[in-house]
Structure 1
Amino acid sequence: MGARFGFETLDREVDVDLEVRGELPPWLAGTLVRNGPAKFETDQGSFRHWFDGLAMLHRFGFAEGAVTYRNRYLESTSFQAARDDGRIAFGEFATDPCRSIFSRFFTHPRLRRTSNANVNVTSDGDRDFALTETPMAVEFDRDTLATVGIADYDDALDGHVTTAHPHRAPLTGDLVNYVLKFGRRSVYQLYRQRGLSREPLACLPADRPGYLHSFAVTERHVVLAVFPLVVNPLSLLLRAKPFIENYRWRPELGTRFVVFDQQDGSVVADERTDAFFAFHHINAYDDDGRVVVDISAYPDSTVVDALYLDKVRGAADLPLAFPTRYEVDLAGGGIRSRRLAEDSLELPRIAYGSHNGREYRYAYGVGANGAGDFLNQLVKVDVRSGHVTRWHEPGRYPGEPVFVPAPGARAEDDGVLLSVVLDGEAGRSGLLVLDAATFTEIARADVPHAIPFGFHGQFTSRRFT
């Protein structure tokens, strides 16, 4: 399977100009920084899951039709231990460090106090941070990709797990996220963030908290979808298993949608629907007494197990997520759901700057063309009509498509999509630029090596040096 290059360690760090084939729009100026795992083994052991690999940042710079590329490992304490001592020192998603029973009892590695921020990146306008699912954001320099250090939050908010998908509140611009604190009775703590100061917004107690990779916001609300992949917090401390292997699929619990008022934190809806699982929300918005929540939904949590490295490096089928709409009635009328399209959709993106938390029309993402292969096509879904547009080339594996709007764009899809694509035959990657409206290729630029499959990235029009 050509996708195997996407799960191999990348030891090379470069800073190069790329040859551009085609012609980039003259207005495209700024940087795309992508994040993802790039080292899957150490001298003394190997990581077990795609989500565990050590973080590497990849920066594509755009100016006057030219493209530059730089990649660099995030020098977290997790990376330093692997580099300097050859060991896995911190508990990851599905990998535990090799420690004695005595050490495990007193350090609780399964609570994932890792700084291996390999999932996403964000910016507060002045500083840039790499994110993972522990509340330990790692600051880096956008130009050089050099690691600056762990963010020092200016508050007393405490917890063990968060999401790497904070949202900008559409009306205020505040960053919104939550942190989950495990305990005899665990609690989801929603908060607003300005700079490095976090202000509590709401709390949701939970006896058996679920694994949540993302959530949703609208103009007026915050929405948590709590899937029935749940954990007894005591098992995290007492069982000798990696973090995610303490969770259990309990479909009889259903999926719980909790809707909070964004101003005062009150719960305005708490409804359940049939069990399903997801990593990613697509978008959400308010609509006449309802909250509409679009999600890339799986029927169950088997996808978590399917992403262990021994499986994705083979030829096993990958469970697929489909774009699905859930309409939560704020007057207590329950939840209605329907599939938005018949094509699979993962790593979803939208025109975030203009349509996050608001009614929208287009979702972009990766999908699968045929069985027995990894995610191998880009898709554009019209969520109103269900029409799907596809980009597919045999033997090529695109990553998350990041939408960049054209200056003064009037149409929702007036702009370009940026996707890192692995050529499974050549064993190297490149940047693909598509016209978002027509889904046709504008340009591409090859990178001198294969970039391991990553997760998320962000584009900023801020100039680079």
Structure 2
Amino acid sequence: MGVRAGFETLDREVDVDLEVRGELPPWLAGTLVRNGPAKFETDKGSFRHWFDGLAMLHRFGFADGAVTYRNRYLETPSFRAARDDGHIAFGEFATDPCRSIFSRFFTHPRLRRTSNANVNVVSDGDRDFALTETPIAVEFDRETLATVGLADYDDAISGHVTTAHPHRAPLTGDLVNYVLKFGRRSVYRIYRQRGRTREVLASLPADRPGYMHSFAVTERHVVLAVFPLVVNPLSLLLRAKPFIENYRWRPELGTRFVVFDQRDGSVVADERTDAFFAFHHINAYDEDGRVVVDISTYPDSGVVDALYLDRVRGDGELPAAFPTRYEVDLSGGGIRSRRLASDSFELPRIAYGSHNGRDYRYAYGVGSRDNGTRDFLDQLVKLDVSSGRTIRWHEPGRYPGEPVFVPTPGGRAEDDGVLLSVVLDAEAGRSGLLVLDAATFTEIARADVPHAIPFGFHGQFTSRRS
């Protein structure tokens, strides 16, 4: 792979104006904040997995055709321990902290009480937060990227694992997510949030809970797809292994779809289908007594192992995900599935504000040229889910990140807007912001950054506040 720069530590923090090549639409005003790992070594240890690196925020500001860029590390307890003492002090996804066996047992590090919020960002309108898969959100200032502190809530909902992909309920605007609490009998608690208060909507007990990075909502439902990558919670306490290495792939269990009614939390469908694995849901919606769920799927959980740093920095193969539709019959008729397109498709995004949880036509993601497994994700893909037709953007030696859709104000078409993607130029050893017309998938503009930005995960665009 020519992508090692995407998995190397970035020590520079800058605040610069970028030179724009091309012309940005005059209506594009606001901020894109992206999140991802950017420090993979400390003075006394190294992280083992892409998902473990310490979080850095990257802010692109847009106004009057100009672009600014700023990056800052998220100054959490996890980061401060690495900076000040050189220690990996908290259990990460696939890296244990630097502690003795005695200390490990009595502090349960594998329950991942890390504040290293390196996955996503979300806004509640007044405040901005960085998120990871532990229920510890970190507030930051959107303009300066300064870390404000850990979030607090006016409730007693607790748990060990959550998702960094909360959803806005399409009809109410409530933030919806779940927390998983491990125990003799573990339980998923789906909740809705208004302001600083969270309210439990539904609970689902589980003897062997599965690893789920995301979930789906529709106008009327919440959908959990429980993949058969499962854990015995006792293993997290008794086995001297990092968090994810306690999970086991059990394909004989199949994948379980549980559909909850948003009004009262009741289970309206509980069906199983063939085993598969996924990180990301694309979208979901209700249709004629069914729930349609589109997911970027892998045949098994091998992709987790493929993303250890020694593999992605070397010549390891990267399994491909493909967009797949699952239709869950709410009257007990089981699940039908079909692949939506032949192109690989990960880090999916849609016109979220107008089509999340509703019938839609277009999705945008990253993929591998010719579905190859010997290189990293090297193309952007626009998918028409109704026809399976795809459009691709690809330049040799360049590796794009998640494409964030920004709608044209007052636009009528679902794909009327632009896509923002951070792209690594492997040969030049630096990254840039690429802006595509979402309808035609042609380049509008780009702006180079003075360094390589490590491959990140997710970001959000927020229009300039009045």
State the partner residue of 2:26: 26
| Residues 29 and 463 in structure 1, CA contact (< 8 A), matched pair in contact too | no
CA contact (8 A) 1:170 1:219 kept: yes
Alignment match, 2:386: 384
Deviation of 1:316 (Å)? 1.6
Structure 2 unaligned blocks of 5 or more:
none
Distance, in Å, in 2 between the alignment partners of 1:120 and 1:203 is 25
| Residue correspondence of structure 1 range 4-43 to structure 2 within 5 A | 4-43=4-43
Q: 1:430 aligns with which of 432, 447, 451?
A: 432
Distance 1:2 1:462 in 2: 37
Deviation at 1:2, TM superposition (A): 2.0
Partners of 1:178 and 1:68 in 2: how far apart? 35
Partner of 1:213: 213
RMSD, matched Cα:
0.6
Once the two structures are TM-superposed, the CA of residue 195 in structure 1 deviates from its matched residue by 1.3
C-alpha deviation, 1:463, in angstroms: 3.9
Of 446, 449, 453, the match for 1:447 = 449
Instruction: Specify the alignment match of 1:414 in structure 2.
Output: 416
5+ long unaligned stretches in structure 1: none
How far off is 1:81 after superposition? 0.2
Matched residue, 1:118: 118
Equivalent AA in structure 2 for residue 174 of structure 1: D
1:57, 1:145 within 8 Å by CA — same for their partners in 2? yes
Amino acid at match of 2:282: I
CA distance in 2, matches of 1:268, 1:462: 40
Q: What's 2:464 paired with?
A: 462
Q: Quick one: distance in 1 between partners of 2:6 and 2:154? A: 38
**1:351: Cα distance to partner?**
0.2
Q: Please list, as runs of the form range in 1=range in 2, the aligned pairs for 1:190-205 lying within 5 A after superposition.
A: 190-205=190-205
Q: 2:74 aligned with 1:65, yes or no?
A: no
Structure 1 position 44 matched with structure 2 position 44: yes
Q: Moved runs in structure 1, 4+ residues, more than 2 A?
A: none
Using the TM superposition, give the Cα deviation of residue 361 of structure 1 relative to its aligned residue in structure 2, in angstroms. 0.3
CA distance in 2, matches of 1:84, 1:25: 44
Q: 1:184: which partner in 2?
A: 184
2:244 aligned partner: 244
Q: Which residue of 1 aligns with 2:260?
A: 260
Structure 1 distance, partners of 2:292, 2:109, is 38
Q: Deviations over 1:16-45 (max 9, x none)?
A: 000000000000000000000000000000
* Partner Cα separation in structure 1 for residue 70 and residue 426 of structure 2: 21
Inter-partner Cα distance in structure 2 for 1:330 and 1:428: 49
CA distance in 2, matches of 1:46, 1:6: 16
Do structure 1's residue 346 and structure 2's residue 346 form an aligned pair?
yes
Distance, in Å, in 2 between the alignment partners of 1:448 and 1:142 is: 21
Q: 1:122 is matched by which residue type in structure 2?
A: V
1:176·1:193 contact (CA, 8 Å) conserved in 2? yes
Could you give the per-residue CA deviations for residues 421-452 of structure 1, whole angstroms, max 9, x where no partner exists?
00000000000000000000000000000000
Q: 1:110 is paired with a residue of what secondary structure?
A: helix
Q: What is the Cα deviation at residue 106 of structure 1?
A: 1.0
Question: Residues of 2 paired with 1:367 and 1:101: CA distance?
Answer: 41
Tell me how far apart the structure 2 counterparts of residues 407 and 105 of structure 1 sit (CA, whole Å). Answer: 54
Cα distance in structure 1, aligned partners of 2:139 and 2:13: 19
Other-structure match for 1:95: 95
Q: How far 1:462 moved relative to its partner? A: 2.5
Contact 1:31 1:463 in 2 (8 A): no
> Which of residues 383, 403, 406 in structure 2 aligns to 1:401?
403
Q: Secondary structure at the match of 1:2?
A: coil
More deviation, 97-106/427-436: 97-106
Per-residue CA deviation, residues 370-392 of structure 1 (Å, 9 max, x unaligned), is 43100000000000000000000
Confirm or deny: 8 A CA contact 1:180 1:187 kept in the other structure: yes
- Corresponding letter in the other structure for 2:460: Q
Q: Which amino acid aligns with 2:463?
A: S
Q: TM-score, normalised by structure 2?
A: 0.99
| Distance (Å, rounded) in 1 between the aligned partners of 2:376 and 2:44 | 29
Between the two proteins, the alignment pairs up a number of residues equal to 464
Deviation string, structure 1 residues 180-210 (Cα, Å, up to 9, x no partner): 0000000000000011210000000000000
Q: Quick one: distance in 2 between partners of 1:317 and 1:164?
A: 26
Contact kept? 1:9, 1:38, Cα under 8 Å: yes
TM superposition score normalised by structure 1: 0.99
Aligned amino acid, residue 429 of structure 1 = S
The alpha carbon displacement at 1:323 in A equals: 0.1
Query: In structure 1, what is the Cα distance between the partners aligned to 2:285 and 2:189?
Result: 22
What residue identity is the alignment partner of 1:386?
G
